[in-house]
Chains A and B, each alone.
Chain A
Amino acid sequence: MKNFRPKLPGFLTGMKILLFNMFKTLSPLSPNPNVNYPFEKEIVAPRARGVIALDQEACTSCMLCARQCPDWCIYIEGHKELQPPAKPGGRQRSRAVLDRFDIDYALCMYCGICVEVCPFDALFWTPEYEYSEYNMGDMLHDKSRLDEWLDTVPEVEGLES
């Protein structure tokens, strides 16, 4: 009985928390946790998984991402072009050219497997998040749009291995 401290019954504790919350919300002294979204923007964590950006030059249209995608929301088309030989008399090299790289963000579930699996570091996470559309069909963003987002990829040091 030494450490006996009278406790509020549970249902009053709930009410007490609500009351304290209300006074916190109404008092100008306590910090406001809300972001008035369309007028103020949230500061997103740099590693936030907002959207997937594509580096077109790095992509070899190897289709690994499209195969690994659980939702099959990546559409890739490409063709091969013959390139002039590097030195005279050499063999003509072929090079993969990316024709189409679309991600259907209406289907994407942001698992990030495509980013993980890409062997050429062509896909990146960026914290950009304002790309919603009024129409479901418009959520299919093509490679030029994905390439624009490459600029928003934050510079972060690599994970220690």
Chain B
Amino acid sequence: MIDGSQVLVTAGIVLAFALNGAVIFTILDVKGASWMQRRPGPLHVGLRGFIFPLAEIIKFFQKEDITPTNVDSAVFKWAPAYVLASVFGLFVVVPISPTLVGSDLDLGVFYLLAISSLSTLGVLTAGWSSANKYSLMGGIRAAGQLIAYELPLILAVVGVVIQAETMSLVGIVEKQIEFGLPFVLSGQGLAFLIFMIAATAEMMRVPFDMPIGESELVSGFLTEYSGVRFLIFYIAEYMNMFILCAVASTLFLGGYHVPLLPAEWVNFYGPVALLTKTVLLGFILVLVRWSFPRFREDQLQNLAWKILIPLSLLNILITSIMKVVF
């Protein structure tokens, strides 16, 4: 069923999708932020500044890639690859239409959550191997945060899985089409909220950017990285943002489905619909980024363990009761 060329084509499509997602979200983040602050934003690089991520990538490529003398060289050099690989892995299962999907696994959601926790490893090794106290602190903080927020993320998704009775992402979207309403409006609103908060923490964006808090740790686990390796972390961050927004719109907002459009043409409007929903969620993340101050470390952990996890357990309870009753 799967031959080599098909795997290659799928990998190429996933790669293109992932990189384009990162570029779109970089533009969204920078341009959106500047518009919200009454600025025009980057303006001088072609098309009124809208292709500046390309210039930025070229800039990072011509910078020197410094490896400090005392670092654990092999680990230091390969840490970005872990993060990038875990993010690429996420792109494989997200459907942009019922047939346009890298691989429609039966355990899609399970695979997604398992792979996304791999990036913790990359971040922790990056911090550990850098031979720098700021990196170490940042890496440990990042690990603590990622583990803490992994749980509400998973538990929020469990509610969706119970309601959809399937773990395949295509199956979840089909269930929402069958039901007539996206899950965010039909019982999983709380789960959506928890998922978005936990996802923001997973991508280490403001207000959850304690691991790279630049006022106390220079740049957290990124302190010693420069040049291409920094670029890999940077791109992985934006790809992670893109893919978590895409997953959220698949699980809660109906993914590729648009009501009132003929289902036969879903291959044409599906990707556009998913992209629109993703960009809308990303826009909310940009809004959140510029309106909230950073959480302190204890507040951050309290939010995860004392509020989000009990709430998500409650959500699971309610969902299962409703499932049994109706």
A21 touches B35 (CB 8 A): yes
Write out the residue numbers on chain A whose beta carbons fall within 8 Å of the beta carbon of B40. 25, 34, 36
A86 interfacial contact with B, CB 8 Å: no
A15 touches B287 (CB 8 A): yes
Contacts of A17 in B (CB 8 A): 291
Q: Does B288 contact A (CB under 8 A)?
A: yes
B282 within 8 A of A: no
Residues of A within 8 A of B292 (CB): 11, 14
CB proximity to A under 8 Å, residues B24-38: 32, 34-38
A22 touches B (CB below 8 Å): yes
Q: Which applies to chain B's interface (DSSP): helix, strand, loop or mixed?
A: helix
A88 at the interface (CB under 8 A from B): no
B38: which of A11, A19, A33 is its contact (CB, 8 Å)? Answer: A33
Interface flag for B63 (CB, 8 Å): no
Interface: A24 (CB within 8 A): yes
Tell me whether chain A's interface is mostly helix, strand or loop, or mixed: helix
Closest to A13 in B: B291
Determine the chain A residues whose CB is within 8 A of the CB of B55 once the complex forms.
none
Complex CA distance for A24 and B39, rounded to whole angstroms: 10
Q: Mark A1-24, 1 if CB is under 8 A from B, else 0.
A: 000000000010011011101101
Q: Is the CB of B288 within 8 A of A15?
A: yes
CB of B35 within 8 A of CB of A25, answer yes
- Is B290 engaged at the interface, CB distance under 8 Å to the other chain? yes
Task: Output the least CB separation between B205 and chain A (Å).
Answer: 15
Rounded to whole Å, the gap between the CB of B50 and the closest CB of chain A is 14
Tell me which residues from 142 to 191 in chain B have a Cβ below 8 Å from any Cβ of chain A: none
Chain A residues closer than 8 Å to B43, beta-carbon distance = 36
Proximity bits, B77-90, A CB within 8 Å = 1, else 0: 00000000000000
Q: Which residues of A contact B34 (CB under 8 A)?
A: 25
- A-facing residues in B283-299 (Cβ within 8 Å): 287-288, 290-292
Contact with A along B14-58 (1 / 0, CB 8 A): 000000000000000000101111111001000000000000000
A33 partner residues in chain B, CB cutoff 8 A = 38
Chain A: residues with CB nearer than 8 A to chain B?
11, 14-15, 17-19, 21-22, 24-26, 33-34, 36
- The 8 nearest A-B residue pairs measured at CB: A14-B291, A18-B36, A22-B35, A25-B35, A22-B36, A15-B291, A15-B287, A21-B36
